[in-house]
Structure 1
Amino acid sequence: MAARHGRKTWQYLMACVLVVSGISCFPGFVAPSTGAAPWRLPGARAEPLEAPSRASLQLSVLIVGAGPAGLLLADRLLSAGCNVHLVEARQDPREGALEGRAYALGLGIRAQRAIRTLGDELWESIKPSGFASERFKLHISEKMAIDLRTPEDNNGLEPSLLIYQSDLCSAMLDHLESNQQGAGKLKISFQSKLKSLDTSTGVATLQSGDTLSELPAADLVAGCDGVNSVVRASIAAANPAFEVEQTKLPGSFKVLRFPQMPSKLDPSAVHAIPGKGSTSAFVEPTARGACALINWRDGVDTKPLPNLGELTESAEKARETLASYFPLIEDAINEDAGQQFVNQQASQASTVKCNSYHLGRAVLLGDAAHCTGGVSGQGCSSAMKDSVVLAELLQHEVGSGRSVAETLAMYSRQQVPEGHALLDLSLGPSAEVGPLKKALYGAASFAGTLLSKVGIGDPPLQTLLTTCLTPFSEIRRDRDFFFGDFPKQAEFDEMIEKVSS
């Protein structure tokens, strides 16, 4: 839906690239549920994310990637008795390094519930670094905006927490290290890159600076290493049956941090803003001001203004140009914002779709397994759910005598449908369903959004995903009329078995 050629660029960039920060800015509409599954609040369905059990696991685990998913998995497995080596290519975020962590995330009920499987202490330590918000505004012009989410839509749930990834990871690292102090079961290697992995033996090669070292064989290697995952590449190299579709989404983006929200914007709300030409901005409040994702398309004629991709040297020119593109936030675009813009390399979002999430001793979580490019705003939440599901399966199944390989197959069977469903929900109906159903989906989504404001039908899709625990696959199957039939579980099982065999 978002990538359809000819749509106004700001709209489809909103859908495809803009929302890396964790809350979908567009589309915010969804068709009313066509099945019997209602909007479920936490506790309304029997799929609890339980607290860690007391069973002890004698496993050696290598976790590649110290983002939210990797840190949550490490904490869960250490609590279960595993020996964990956590490897991260970036610097320790507590040292002020923002590389790859400059943007803000939105932690809805799924992420909150996953974090709380470690107890309330961690969640309470995270909250002061975030900004609670239940408001989301889509701006049509400088003077007109639509409320896509309001406090009434939250039905009494705790609001989403908007937090910089650097602050979230710092709090999780503090919790991880404080709980394991003196236990001798945790090793963390920052600024260390995985260079190679044998998925059958769990033997990996690590590069730290100019030094290459072979690590002892691990019982389990968890790839939490993002959209360009080395673990995923190792699985693909080891087995031709493993299939991955990685698609770059159109447009580029950079992240700006403001010391305060722009004065023309509601300081308590997330804002999706069209700019002039082919640009768009996504601005959200944080505990330390505001975070803005600035999007544009290269190669588009934006005269008399320069294309944002051309602003690579002069901070003053960047400041003036950004202010011209985005009058709604011009007061926040100061000299420092211009300098931030020229200092950054532009990023481009991608989607990832795999036919299995494991091979041998290796397993994939989060963006390494199923990236939506930020479109749905559920990247962090779905990654943390992966960590919880994997940790609980290992504790229950391996703790009961099942092999790691068998347990990883169970993880794939449970989570692959969720990843495929989330990607469908993020991008909307494909061209294969035909223009009529795509048009009907758009119309039904718009009507559903309006009706939900008077208590009829489901809320907008982003609100639904953020405020309930209903599986993504179930939400997707409710929309089979518009999207086409979602594969049955047996079809997913057969697909996964072809990779494992």
Structure 2
Amino acid sequence: MSERSLNILIVGGGIAGCSAAIALSQRGHAVRIVEKQDAWRFQSSGIFVYANGLVSLDELGLLDEILQAGFPVPAGRNAYFDHKGVPITDTFYPSADNGRIPAILGIKRAEMHRVMAQRVDALGVTVTLGTTVDAIRDEGDSVRAVLSDGTEETADLVIGADGVRSAMRALIGIGLEPRYTGFGVWRSVHRRPQALTDKIMMMGPGIRFGIMPISDDMLYTFGTLAEPKSRFYDPAGWPEHMRTKFADFSGPASLFLEELGPDSQVLYTAVEEVGLELPWHRGRVVLIGDAAHASTPFMGQGGAMAMQDAVVLAEALALHETLDGALDAFGKARLPVCQFVQGVSHAVGEAGAKELDGDLEARNADLRKTAQEKVDQFYGRLAELNAEAETALRKGAASG
């Protein structure tokens, strides 16, 4: 298919959708995005991107702009404290490409999307806002999407990049619903003290609070803890709820929790998972990102997995002769990687949720002894799985 330009419709304009639009446009495909929001309004808390995600941004041609917009953590240092602010240990994440690509970068989500949206526009991708897909009709040699504005779009390929609560899953006959994990995440945005340059993780009994620089002058905090299913919090009360829920945290957290007030930027989300088995496509419609494999946030890999989906999908389409062969190879390449990340992230969250006050001394001792080794093992195994996926993708193309 490398010599054929496809007409591609992408449903969803978040990280996964924009990344796919960029990767596929750069390969010469004609791309259109439909996005349900009537204007670009993206949650303005932060996100951290580890080196493996920055590699994907490099392949998308966005790395330099992303580095300028965000904050690379010096030496990839993660400082661990207990919830009272007592230091436990430090770990260091791996960089990539002999240090050219930083180990970890924090960035405001809105800034990441701004950079992506500008590149989407520069590539000539048509973006239609305030629009959803109401129906999908597979016509064999094409697929027809009926849009909410009453128009119809005929495409060679439709990509469902519409997130954890993807409407595209149901439209193509996949009845899988997101699974609530029992966790909630609270996030807030603050001015960054100039001396605060590390990623910080504070470890309480069954509760976590993190701090991450996201620009030269801003940082965001993120707290995770168990929350009852379907618990609703009025957004007007989010700052007070966040301050109350993490009131036992002192040390580095104190300044930012004390700042929380009615005008603070605070966001609450319930954490859901999606674990779709193969195939991730039905006919000429394929799911990527959270629509196929939403994960818990404990390894900070959700955005990275979505961006890598986009890069690998574009490569699969270039390598394979048939669309079905490309989509099949894409899913087989990505599933082991995404399942590994999901599994580790889920295990980390579950282990933390079960901690009691009496466990903390033993936990801290174990962190001092094994934390760096676990970091190295995770990223080592992730690199191995990515290499295996690349080999399989190319081998399958050669044999096909």
TM normalised by structure 1 equals 0.64
In 2, the alpha carbon distance for the partners of 1:167 and 1:426 equals: 25
Kindly provide the amino acid, as one letter, of the partner of residue 158 in structure 2: V
In 2, the alpha carbon distance for the partners of 1:407 and 1:474 equals: 17
**What is the DSSP-based 3-state SS (H/G/I as helix, E as strand, rest coil) of the residue aligned with 2:132?**
strand
In 1, the alpha carbon distance for the partners of 2:264 and 2:60 equals: 36
Verify: 1:129 aligned to 2:43, yes or no: no
- The one of 150, 161, 164 equivalent to 1:227 is 164
In 2, the alpha carbon distance for the partners of 1:452 and 1:274 equals: 13
In 2, the alpha carbon distance for the partners of 1:257 and 1:334 equals: 13
1:188 Cα deviation after fit: 0.3
- The one of 278, 295, 312 equivalent to 1:372 is 295
In 2, the alpha carbon distance for the partners of 1:321 and 1:130 equals: 29
Whether the 8 Å CA contact 1:203–1:214 is kept in 2: the answer is: no
Superposition RMSD on alpha carbons, in Å?
A: 3.8
User: Equivalent residue for 1:332?
Assistant: 256
Mean CA deviation greater in 328-337 or 377-386: 328-337
Verify: 1:285 aligned to 2:199, yes or no: no
Verify: 1:251 aligned to 2:183, yes or no: yes
1:250 Cα deviation after fit: 0.9
Q: Deviations over 1:357-408 (max 9, x none)?
A: 11101111111111112232111111111111110111222xxxx2212221
Verify: 1:166 aligned to 2:95, yes or no: no
Whether the 8 Å CA contact 2:81–2:200 is kept in 1: the answer is: yes
Indicate how the Cα distance of structure 1 residues 415 and 187 shifts in structure 2: closer, same or farther if over 3 A, else same.
same
User: Equivalent residue for 2:318?
Assistant: 395
User: Equivalent residue for 1:213?
Assistant: 150
User: Equivalent residue for 2:275?
Assistant: 353
Kindly provide the amino acid, as one letter, of the partner of residue 247 in structure 1: R
User: Equivalent residue for 1:190?
Assistant: 129
Kindly provide the amino acid, as one letter, of the partner of residue 281 in structure 1: F
In 1, the alpha carbon distance for the partners of 2:296 and 2:65 equals: 28
In 1, the alpha carbon distance for the partners of 2:309 and 2:79 equals: 30
In 1, the alpha carbon distance for the partners of 2:365 and 2:308 equals: 29
Verify: 1:116 aligned to 2:62, yes or no: no
Whether the 8 Å CA contact 2:239–2:261 is kept in 1: the answer is: no
Kindly provide the amino acid, as one letter, of the partner of residue 117 in structure 2: L
User: Equivalent residue for 1:71?
Assistant: 18
In 2, the alpha carbon distance for the partners of 1:369 and 1:170 equals: 24
Verify: 1:381 aligned to 2:309, yes or no: no
Mean CA deviation greater in 315-324 or 109-118: 315-324
Q: Deviations over 1:324-356 (max 9, x none)?
A: 443333323466644447x75x42111111112
**More RCO (CA 8 Å, sep 6+):** 1
Indicate how the Cα distance of structure 1 residues 116 and 298 shifts in structure 2: closer, same or farther if over 3 A, else same.
closer
- The one of 26, 29, 50 equivalent to 1:82 is 29
- The one of 85, 88, 92 equivalent to 1:143 is 85
Verify: 1:406 aligned to 2:325, yes or no: yes
* Structure 2, unaligned runs of 5 or more: 351-361
Indicate how the Cα distance of structure 1 residues 403 and 310 shifts in structure 2: closer, same or farther if over 3 A, else same.
closer
User: Equivalent residue for 1:27?
Assistant: none
Kindly indicate which of the two structures has a greater share of residues assigned to strand: 2
Mean CA deviation greater in 381-390 or 73-82: 73-82
1:246 Cα deviation after fit: 3.1
Whether the 8 Å CA contact 2:39–2:129 is kept in 1: the answer is: yes
TM normalised by structure 2 equals 0.78
Mean CA deviation greater in 383-392 or 106-115: 106-115
The share of aligned pairs that are identical, in percent, is: 20
Verify: 1:103 aligned to 2:45, yes or no: yes
1:298 Cα deviation after fit: 4.4
Work out the number of aligned pairs and report it: 369
In 2, the alpha carbon distance for the partners of 1:473 and 1:449 equals: 30
**What is the DSSP-based 3-state SS (H/G/I as helix, E as strand, rest coil) of the residue aligned with 1:469?**
helix
Q: Deviations over 1:296-339 (max 9, x none)?
A: 44469xxxxxxx97676568855864674433333234666444
In 1, the alpha carbon distance for the partners of 2:325 and 2:365 equals: 44
In 2, the alpha carbon distance for the partners of 1:448 and 1:254 equals: 24
Q: Deviations over 1:183-227 (max 9, x none)?
A: xxx2101232233333565222333xxxx3232221111111111
Whether the 8 Å CA contact 2:47–2:107 is kept in 1: the answer is: yes
**What is the DSSP-based 3-state SS (H/G/I as helix, E as strand, rest coil) of the residue aligned with 1:372?**
coil
1:229 Cα deviation after fit: 1.1
User: Equivalent residue for 1:461?
Assistant: 375
Indicate how the Cα distance of structure 1 residues 361 and 299 shifts in structure 2: closer, same or farther if over 3 A, else same.
closer
Whether the 8 Å CA contact 1:56–1:81 is kept in 2: the answer is: no
In 2, the alpha carbon distance for the partners of 1:310 and 1:396 equals: 48
User: Equivalent residue for 1:58?
Assistant: 5
Indicate how the Cα distance of structure 1 residues 327 and 244 shifts in structure 2: closer, same or farther if over 3 A, else same.
same
In 2, the alpha carbon distance for the partners of 1:225 and 1:292 equals: 26
Whether the 8 Å CA contact 2:299–2:344 is kept in 1: the answer is: yes
Kindly provide the amino acid, as one letter, of the partner of residue 411 in structure 1: F
Indicate how the Cα distance of structure 1 residues 197 and 254 shifts in structure 2: closer, same or farther if over 3 A, else same.
farther
In 2, the alpha carbon distance for the partners of 1:179 and 1:335 equals: 42
* Structure 1, unaligned runs of 5 or more: 1-52, 181-185, 238-242, 301-307, 432-442, 454-458, 476-488, 494-501
Verify: 1:273 aligned to 2:273, yes or no: no
In 2, the alpha carbon distance for the partners of 1:216 and 1:137 equals: 50
